């Protein structure tokens, strides 16, 4: 895919949604960190349902740590893998309190050192909470990057690196959100809604569904 086509793709995505945001509900960097940690192999909808009850009670490292693992489980037991996530969240709270003055760190290395926080979670926090250029490649972004040929790659790291290289600079800060939303609602896995796609004429997907 050439530069002109990529620029037009993101121009259209920006025109349709000038200020894209995550669908996870949060009001602080800590809340976002916990929400993203909980969202692994779970939907944003299910995470939001849980955190609407959790965050009014515990929205700081201290108050969440005070719940303990079992206390936290009561709030997140409707989310997949809640046992492991509760353990990781409480350990993360302890580290934030002891090593980071209860603040969410702003570097990838420090974020990835937190229990349950991988590269994708770190990228979400860096990009969404701290507005740093970072590309969190989830299943949606991986699929779209390969299907459209915006940034094809064999694994998530390769796709991440290609997106950072090929997405025009003016779009880099918000590209992550545009691609996730497009993958979630239009360029879906099984039956992409090509007839409703604003970039359909620019897409290089070779197996487009017939109309």
pLDDT tens digits along 62-110: 999 999 999 999 999 999 899 999 999 999 999 999 999 999 999 999 9
The answer to whether 73 and 83 have CB atoms below 8 angstroms apart is yes
Q: Are residues 180 and 141 in contact, defined by beta-carbon separation less than 8 angstroms?
A: yes
Q: What's the pLDDT at 210?
A: 42
CATH among 2.60.40.10, 1.10.1670.10, 3.40.50.720, 1.10.40.30 for 3-20+139-196: 1.10.1670.10
What's the mean per-residue pLDDT of the chain? 94
Contacts of 7 (CB under 8 A, 6+ apart): 168
* pLDDT in the model for residue 1: 83
Closest CA to 77 of 54, 100, 58: 54
44 is catalytic: no
pLDDT for 211 equals 41
Q: Of residues 44, 70, 106, 138, which has the active-site annotation?
A: 138
**Domains in the chain: boundaries:** 3-20+139-196, 29-129
Q: What is the pLDDT of residue 209?
A: 45
Q: How far apart are CA 14 and CA 107, in angstroms?
A: 27
Which fold does the domain 29-129 belong to in CATH?
Answer: Endonuclease III; domain 1 (1.10.340)
pTM, two decimal places: 0.88
**Residues 9-15: contacts with CB within 8 Å, 24+ apart?**
9/148, 9/150, 9/199, 9/202, 10/167, 10/168, 10/171, 10/175, 10/178, 12/198, 12/199, 12/202, 13/171, 13/178, 13/179, 13/182, 13/198, 13/199, 14/171, 14/174, 14/178
Q: Annotation-wise, does 194 bind a ligand?
A: yes
Q: Is 197 part of any known ligand binding site?
A: yes
**According to the model, what pLDDT value does residue 206 have?**
66
201 is catalytic: no
What residues of the chain score a pLDDT lower than 50? 208-211
Is 93 annotated as belonging to a binding site? no
Q: What would the two tokens of residue 81 be? A: 């893998």
CA atoms within 13 A on the CB side of 127: 24
Catalytic residue (one of 120, 149, 169, 201): 120
């Amino acid at each position: 895919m050439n530069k002109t086509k990529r620029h037009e793709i993101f121009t259209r995505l920006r025109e349709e949604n000038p200020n894209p945001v995550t669908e996870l509900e949060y009001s602080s960097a800590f809340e976002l960190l916990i929400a993203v940690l909980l969202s692994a192999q779970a939907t944003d909808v299910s995470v939001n349902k849980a955190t609407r009850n959790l965050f009014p009670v515990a929205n700081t490292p201290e108050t969440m740590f005070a719940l303990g693992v079992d206390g936290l489980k009561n709030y997140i037991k409707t989310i997949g893998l809640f046992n492991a996530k509760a353990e990781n969240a409480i350990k993360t709270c302890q580290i934030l309190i002891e090593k980071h003055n209860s603040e969410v760190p702003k570097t990838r290395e420090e974020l990835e050192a937190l229990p349950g926080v991988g590269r994708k979670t770190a990228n979400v926090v860096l990009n969404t909470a701290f507005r740093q250029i970072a590309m969190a490649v989830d299943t949606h972004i991986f699929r779209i990057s390969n299907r459209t040929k915006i940034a094809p790659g064999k694994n998530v790291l390769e796709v991440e690196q290609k997106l950072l290289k090929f997405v025009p600079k003016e779009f880099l800060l918000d590209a992550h959100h545009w691609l996730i939303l497009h993958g979630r609602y239009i360029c879906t896995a099984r039956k992409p809604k090509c007839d409703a796609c604003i970039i359909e004429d620019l897409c290089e997907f070779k197996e487009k569904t017939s109309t």
